[in-house]
């Protein structure tokens, strides 16, 4: 799911490959959360579980 989001962002020019492949900025993280809510069908877990996972992940 992170790769799908990253590829979409790179494709539309929202973020560069370097930004996606390094530690994510707050802007990228916030964008991912919005994307996840809008693309629930692409997630391997519920949005609630994803939010918990993201709190523990250092990305």
Element (H, E) at 13: none
Q: How many domains does the chain have?
A: 1
Q: What is the pLDDT along the chain (59 residues), one digit of tens a residue?
A: 899 999 999 999 999 999 999 999 999 999 999 999 999 888 888 888 888 888 887 66
Predicted pLDDT of residue 59: 63
Domain that holds residue 16: 2-56
């Amino acid at each position: 799911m992170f790769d799908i989001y990253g590829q979409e962002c790179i494709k539309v020019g929202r973020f560069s490959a370097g930004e996606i492949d390094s530690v994510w900025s707050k802007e990228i993280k916030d964008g991912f959360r919005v994307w996840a809510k809008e693309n629930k069908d692409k997630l391997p877990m519920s949005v609630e579980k994803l939010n918990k996972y993201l709190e523990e992940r250092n990305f």
